[in-house]
Structure 1
Amino acid sequence: MILRFAGKNLLYFDSFDLEFSEGLNVITGETGAGKSILLKGLQALLGKRVELFDNDETWLEALVLIDAVDEELKELGIQRGEHIVSLSAGKRWIYRIDGRMYPQSVVERMFENDVHFHQQNTHVNLLRKRYQLSLLDRFCDNPQLFSDYAEAYGRMIELRKIVEELNVENLDQRIEELNRELALFEKYKPSEDEEKTLKERFERINKAKQIVALVEEILNALDEDLTTRVWRLSFSAEKMASLVPKGLPGLLRDIAEKSDEVRKLVTRFINEMQLEDSREVEARLSVYNELKRRFGPDWEDIKKNWAKLEREKSELLSNKRQLELADRELRSIEKRCWDLAEKLHDNRLKAAGEFEGFVRQHLQELAMSLKFSVKIGRLNQLTPSGISDVEFVVEAGGEEKPLRDVLSGGELSRMVLAVHLSVANQAGNVFIFDEIDSGIGGMTGNVLGEKLKSLSRTSQVIVVTHLPQIARYADTHFVVLKEDRSMRVKSLTPEERRYELLRMIGGEDLWGDVM
């Protein structure tokens, strides 16, 4: 609701300050007095782009009461309740809400669902199919069904996003790759201590092999034939002891005995030495070399990459479980959405005929002989509002056409009035009409006044009119007065209202006498 609207330097208005009531607010005045300028200023203040200002010092402000805000506005710090909206206009428009600057789009969003402007040759909500659908839904008056669908649809969108995020391409293939990578760790359970031990064992084995090779070389040199030949030489030397150098036979005997002793010692050493098979150690070390090649180069890198692979596998397995659960819930919630959407569609089909009857009755009383209809088609996919494609049409030239293709500005304003009077639960909306009385008068004007009054019982209505039949129903009445070089707007007392109504009836300017 708009509680107060004030401004300075709005074209011909030096300043003004209007306090609107909850019901029917009427603005009257002579032709050309600038009544519509006030509504254009209000339109601009509430976030609409209009061609209006040529003064860099134009300033507008409104005190508004917001009954509901969406989550996006809440995130921007805008809550339900009273707010002061201001606009400094000129070459650059600067919007503020409660003193804080906001872009024009935020201000427009703040009022787009609750404040409805209806003027000649301007875009209005009623021309939007989405808005037409919302009106039919209000007429259906089944808030629980709509709430259930909205909740289910929201959950479906949330689950689709979860599934999309979790459904990594080739998820199972990646898990298999990780299993193969981790199989080395799980099979051999490598450790830094074991690698150190294996290297020490491998070094010992190599040294032992070197020793054995040396000993075997000695053994080969001291083979049995050599020892036998030395013994034979010693025996021969003893037989010819008188002919050979003194001591030679004994020396040869000592050599034979020592060679035999060395040979026996080396043979016993080889037999007693148990050489460890190096193949097992080499195979185990090759595992470590492979780990270093793939996950190294050093042991710290191996441990980090090992842990990283395990984390990735754990995350992917968790994601897979979540994906399976989310996918299962998604299939279930999609079915629920379709079931609820079908019910919504059936409700709309059933309500459309009755809604058409109400609108046609109001149009007839407003002297508009139009055949109004609601066309409902069925979509093949779910939308935030279900599966219904709703459009308001009127018959023209023997065929049904959308409202935008048939109605003039004044007719469209009366269509807006007829539609909203037909819809239940309209409390909280604000309707602003300019030239709704275009082309009508007499009894039809009186009917129009009665219907505006009826609408104002559940919604705030602000209307610019030249008809006394409408002005007489005002809860709050403003008049725009021409002065020498400017205009001003005045809130009327009951006595002043009488003078203004007389002026409107008789067409005479009685304000000179009143003032």
Structure 2
Amino acid sequence: MTLRRIRIQGLGVIDDAELELSDGLNVITGETGAGKTMVVSGLGLLLGARADAGMVRAGTPQAVVEGEVDVPATHPAAVRAEEAGGDATDGLLLVRSVAAGGRSRAHVGGRAAPVAVLAEIGEHLVAVHGQADQWRLRDADQHRLLLDTAGGSEVAEARGAYERAYEAWRASVARLQELTRTAAERAVRVGMLRGALEEIEAVDAEEGEEDRLRAESERLTHAEELRSAALLAHDALVGSDDPGPDQPSVTALLATAGAALGPAAAHDEELAALRGRLDELAYLGSDLAADLASYGTAVEVDEERLAEVHQRRADLTAVLRKYGGSTTEMLALARRFADELAEIDVSDDDLAELRRSTEALRQEVARTGAALTAARTATAERVGAAVTRELSHLAMGSAEVSVRVEPRWVSGDAEDGDGGAAATVVLEDGRSVRPRPHGLDEVEIRLAANPGAPARSVTRAASGGELSRVMLALELVCGDGTVPTYVFDEVDAGVGGSAALDLGARLATLARTAQVLVVTHLAQVAAYADRHLVVRKSTDGQVTSSGVVAVEGAEREAELARMLGGVADSDAALEHARELLSRRATMAG
């Protein structure tokens, strides 16, 4: 799962630039004003960020950002793209355009899609860490997810036990509330269901019976007409017992025709074939006459049975009008009524037992929830210490990170009958806590930026650059590789000297298990790159534009030298650049 290519057209100072990215650590450098931030802005657009028409390059009708992602068909991002109508068979193509007039469009896998779909897909692909993009730290649920990830199998097992207990308890609470909403309401419903079932059972209908009765009624009503028609047809075919002189039968006429053709048919095959067809007609006529005779004999005029059918139809129709247009619908409704009646028609003993089992499940939620809290608390202490150690190598040696894990306490008066039981559980110390599907706890990552400073939520206690470094430290300590690509902007703000080398080394460490994209102005960071991209601006005297090139060898040394000393061909800066690259090569080896 790798972001392979980004193409940016008409965005800010960038006229047309293409970034070919690699696995590992990708760094983007360039002079101030060259447009490095436009690369991050373009990536943000590609991931569903809000569009600003002011970002469109002057004189350009629209800005367009394209991204190619290598992602397996089973990955959540590919699945979401397929749901939106896109094609992710051979990777995923994402496109975002912003018109100079402000209108924004998105395409996913070759199909137009809402911009919100880009954002949904982006969350599965890229985590952007910059001053304006720390959504993983602004979202309280993400604090908990980071902590649970760091807790490994111990927290995962505790959470699984809690979730099973919670789901069983909530199902039992819902059933209890349904059965005890009001006794009178339930009694009315039980009475209605029983009455309906008794009425349906009394008619004892069979599926499709109304159609069979309708056909039988029609036959019995017109029995005399049916019998007379059959016998008249029979007489026309084979003749009656007392035929008149001018009433020849069909079979007699066919016999006459056959006799006429008989001698001559021996002399011509075509006529013989016609004689054969005539014989078939004679056989069919005889068979049909026999069937008509049998039918006419079987038809009976049964007034008593006709009355029975009419009464049965009347009884059945009366019930069908109330419970369905057909016996099929009525019998299906009866099954649903029976199921509902079995659910709500319980005895007082059954209801008491349900209350006891619900309370037992409630206690199980409290027990497993407390175990999950304990596992998270132990993990929080370890994560806080580990992240604090990481920050000491990231120019934040005075900072201290802690992770607060605290249940959602509620006052005792919140418990009030079955409604209260549905809302809270009671721990061993007697205090009540409000459970949620993920546990009893609120989790918050906190930062004390300086000694003696109070610990506050990390998003309020850190600057943009510090937030990026805190996030880097958290990803190193808590990350599990589920996010394929990380983007860091401003991560080097306020960093220099040996701390810059530590920062580069830790970015390279993260890049061993994920793709990392970093915008930096520090050569010490850029030296660790697996792929080094430079944003360069050019001008024709009137219009300035920027493009992106990958640098290697001497070109890369010159760019690092420029970053170190401001002059690309300074011998001292070049030597320093080579030392940095050598240091990176030694670490990689």
| TM-score normalised by structure 1 residue count | 0.69
One of 317, 320, 327 as aligned partner of 1:304:
320
Distance 1:494 1:383, change over 3 A: farther
1:375-429: CA deviation from partner (whole Å, max 9, x where unpaired):
1111333334222210011236642211122111111111111111112523543
Q: Could you tell me whether the CA contact under 8 Å between 1:133 and 1:391 is conserved in 2?
A: yes
Indicate how the Cα distance of structure 1 residues 134 and 177 shifts in structure 2: closer, same or farther if over 3 A, else same.
closer
Compute the displacement of 1:300 (Å): 5.2
| Aligned position for 2:12 | 11
- Contact (CA 8 Å) 1:5, 1:17: kept in 2 or not? yes
Match of 2:66 in 1: 61
Q: Does 1:355 align with 2:364?
A: no
Could you tell me how far 1:163 is from its partner in structure 2?
5.4
Measure the CA separation in 2 of the matches of 1:177 and 1:481: 80
2:36 aligns with: 35
CA shift in 2, pair 1:24/1:320, >3 Å: farther
Asked whether the 8 Å contact 1:365–1:444 carries over to 2, the reply is: yes
Superposed CA offset, 1:476-505 (max 9, x none): 000011101211110112221111111111
Alignment of 1:82 onto 2:95? no
Q: What are the within-5 Å matches in structure 2 for residues 165-244 of structure 1?
A: 170-180=185-195
Distance 1:189 1:114 in 2: 61
Identity, in percent, stands at 28
Q: Aligned pair 1:426/2:481, yes or no? A: yes
Q: Contact conserved, 1:118 with 1:434, CA < 8 A, in 2?
A: yes
Matches within 5 A, 1:408-487: 408-426=463-481, 428-484=483-539, 485-487=544-546
DSSP 3-state at the match of 1:17: strand
AA of the residue aligned to 1:374: V
CA drift of 1:152 comes to: 3.2
The answer as to 2:393 corresponding to 1:365 is yes
Distance 2:548 2:63 in 1: 16
| Greater Cα offset, 312-321 or 466-475 | 312-321
SS where residue 486 of structure 2 aligns?
A: strand
Q: What SS class does the counterpart of residue 14 from structure 1 fall into?
A: strand
Question: Which of 396, 401, 407 is equivalent to 1:378?
Answer: 407
Quickly say closer, same or farther: Cα 1:478–1:183, change in 2 above 3 A: closer
Q: 1:116 to 1:161 in 2, by over 3 A?
A: farther
Bigger mean CA offset, 24-33 vs 365-374: 365-374
User: What does the per-residue CA deviation read over 1:254-302, in whole Å, with 9 as the maximum and x for residues that have no partner?
Assistant: xxxxxxxxxxxxxxxxxxxxxxxxxxxxxxxxxxxxxx9xxxx964542
**Cα separation, partners in 2 of 1:62 and 1:339, compared to 1, 3 Å:** farther
Runs of 4+ in 1 over 4 A off after TM superposition: 70-75, 77-81, 153-169, 180-190, 297-300, 305-313, 322-325, 327-340
1:171 and 1:316 in contact (8 A); partners too = no
Instruction: Within 5 Å, give how 1:278-289 maps onto structure 2.
Output: none
Q: Are residues 104 and 149 of structure 1, via their aligned partners in 2, closer, same or farther at CA, if it must alter by over 3 Å?
A: farther
The one of 414, 431, 448 equivalent to 1:395 is: 448
SS of the residue 2:407 aligns to: strand
Deviates more, 1:43-52 or 1:76-85: 76-85
SS of the residue 2:492 aligns to? coil
Secondary structure of 1:451 counterpart: helix
Q: Are the equivalent residues in 2 in contact too, given 1:61–1:86 (CA < 8 A)?
A: yes
Aligned to 1:508: 567
Contact preservation (8 Å) 1:182, 1:310: no
2:490–2:519: 8 Å Cα contact kept in structure 1? yes
Deviations 1:330-365 (A, max 9, x none): 958777665544333221111111111111111112
- Work out the CA distance in 2 between the residues paired with 1:319 and 1:32: 70
**2: CA distance, partners of 1:350 / 1:119:** 30
RMSD: 4.0
Give, in angstroms, the shift of residue 180 of structure 1. Answer: 4.4
- Which stretch has the larger CA shift, 74-83 or 32-41? 74-83
Match of 1:134 among 145, 162, 173: 145
Is the alpha carbon distance of 1:65 and 1:384 closer, same or farther for their aligned partners in structure 2, counting shifts above 3 Å?
farther
Cα distance change, pair 336–459 in 1 and its aligned pair in 2 (3 A): farther
SS in 1 for 2:76: coil
Deviates more, 1:403-412 or 1:56-65: 56-65
Tell me which amino acid in the other structure corresponds to 1:177.
Answer: M
State TM-score, norm by structure 2: 0.61
- Which position in structure 1 is the counterpart of 2:228? none
* Partner secondary structure for residue 434 of structure 2: strand
Change (3 A) 1:138 1:307: closer
Task: Report the AA paired with residue 145 of structure 1.
Answer: E
Measure the CA separation in 2 of the matches of 1:441 and 1:185: 85
> Which region of structure 1 is more displaced relative to structure 2, 439-448 or 428-437?
428-437
Q: Which runs of 5+ in 1 are unaligned?
A: 194-291
Q: How many pairs align?
A: 409
Assess if the C-alpha contact under 8 Å between 2:66 and 2:96 holds in 1: yes
Deviations 1:312-338 (A, max 9, x none): 55422212435789x979958777665
Residue 19 of structure 2 aligns with an amino acid whose one-letter code is L
Which residue of structure 1 aligns with residue 373 of structure 2? 345
Structure of higher CA gyration radius: 1
Residue in 2 that maps onto 1:22:
23
The answer to whether the 8 A contact 1:477-1:497 is kept is: yes
CA apart distance, 1:53: 2.8
The one-character-per-residue Cα deviations of 1:63-106 (angstroms, maximum 9, x if unpaired) are: 11346318876644577972111112222211111111111111
Matched, 1:119 2:130: yes
